[in-house]
């Protein structure tokens, strides 16, 4: 599932969409990827002599991936149009992510309660774990169909 399909499911747009493709998805988990390239705008200032992807953007990529899982696994796969905000994050950043990498984004639903969904998340590049932990997404009021 490519970027155009992804854009049909979540409200994010360039330059703030951080998922390029969905590799695998089922009702409780998703695996997606982002191609991390040196020409991405944030690398010009973070850090010019040793560029790394900001951890907060890795976290955002994980949150967007979790949002995609909600969109694809709810209402018979017709959950697009619902807006979720990142409510909490308990994520450890284990290693810096350098450009010219493929960031693999893994999310698994742990539990749902009210308009909240808790996920176990992990970001990897190659054989290295970049970040891991849990996040909670909260559905925006009035976003459900």
From CA 58, how far away is CA 122, in angstroms rounded? 10
DSSP state of 140: P
Q: Which of 7, 21, 46, 129 is catalytic?
A: 46
- Biggest distance spanned by C-alpha atoms of the chain: 47
| Alpha helix stretches (DSSP H) within the chain | 3-7, 55-73
- 46 assigned to active site: yes
- Sorted by sequence, the CB contacts under 8 Å of residue 58 that are 6+ apart come out as 93, 97, 103, 123, 130, 131
- Contact between residue 71 and residue 10 where contact means Cβ atoms under 8 Å apart: yes
- Contact between residue 110 and residue 118 where contact means Cβ atoms under 8 Å apart: yes
Residues with catalytic roles: 46
């Amino acid at each position: 599932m490519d970027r155009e399909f992804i854009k049909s499911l979540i409200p994010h747009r360039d330059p703030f969409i951080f998922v390029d493709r969905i590799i695998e998805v089922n009702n409780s988990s998703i695996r997606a990827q982002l191609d991390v390239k040196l020409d991405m705008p944030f690398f010009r200032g973070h850090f010019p002599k040793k560029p790394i992807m900001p951890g907060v953007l890795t976290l955002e990529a994980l949150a967007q991936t979790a949002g995609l899982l909600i969109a694809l696994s709810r209402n018979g796969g017709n959950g697009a149009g619902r807006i979720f905000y990142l409510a909490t994050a308990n994520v450890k950043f284990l290693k810096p992510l350098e450009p010219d990498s493929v960031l693999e984004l893994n999310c698994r639903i742990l539990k749902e309660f009210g308009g909240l969904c808790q996920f176990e998340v992990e970001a990897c590049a190659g054989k290295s774990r970049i970040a891991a932990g849990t996040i909670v997404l909260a559905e925006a009021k009035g976003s459900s169909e």
